[in-house]
Amino acid sequence: MSPESSLDNPLSFFDVSGKVALITGASGAFGAVAARCLSGAGAKVVLAAGNADAMAEVARTCKGETHQINARPDSEDACAALVAETVATYGRIDILVVASGMNKVAKIGEMEPSTFENVMDANVTQSWLMARAASTQMQAQGDGGKIVLMSSARGLLGHPAGYTAYCASKAAVDGITKALGCELGPTGITVNAIAPTVFRSPLTAWMFGDDDHAKTVRSGFLARVPKGRLGEPEDLAGPLLFLSSKASDFYTGHILYADGGYTAG
């Protein structure tokens, strides 16, 4: 379809039907959103997670073809194996979504150096290793690809409650995104990141509660959110589909803030 005729069918820009997507951290909140969104849009989805039971629950919510791998991207060999099994199952990889990661909150004097290193490994090194493995395969295929990393508003903004490891790790993810966007641009592979603020998940469910503590914390936070509400999983689906599809072919090295305007003020 020519660019001119595509403009007559703008939804075709967002078509990922038949594409092969590998999602790490598929048992987590963002991983589950990615799995449902991309499978619902017609992609063949490979789910990878360390929690097999939770991953199976996510798989049950998906439409179309799915394949599950009970593994984490915690080493060079593990990341290469995830890509290899994706290719063995579906013949190729078109989309990588790195939804795996972790956060440990503690003031700097109370955080063990090993904890800081674990957060950096899970969020930074593993993102880099997965992007390395997937982009190598995508370049061998020769027709581009989509890499979507998981950042956060905390990659741009600090936090007083003991977020040195998390903020540092997400700022590093932003740096990887920009550098790889530049490096891989000529290959047709785009590298972008989604950076949400607080959105509904098992870890943040308490902030949506009606008790006094939740209301107090939520009220203070929402004073800085122009949209006046916390995020919902659906708020991440649209940006993800955009960054995973032809619609974002001219966007790379970009950090997309899904934050209700939080970082704008």
- Active site (catalytic) residues: 166
Taking CA atoms, 34 is separated from 133, 151, 217, 220, 233, in Å, by 20, 14, 28, 29, 10
Query: DSSP character for 260?
Result: T
Report the distance separating Cα 58 and Cα 48, nearest Å. Answer: 11
Report the distance separating Cα 141 and Cα 95, nearest Å. Answer: 12
Placement of tokens 């999983």 in the chain = 233
Q: What angle do CA 73, 77, 81 make, to 5 degrees?
A: 75
Residue 76 Cα to chain centre, angstroms: 19
**Torsion over CA: 5, 9, 11, 16 (sign):** negative
Report the distance separating Cα 217 and Cα 90, nearest Å. Answer: 46
Contact 192, 148 (CB under 8 A): yes
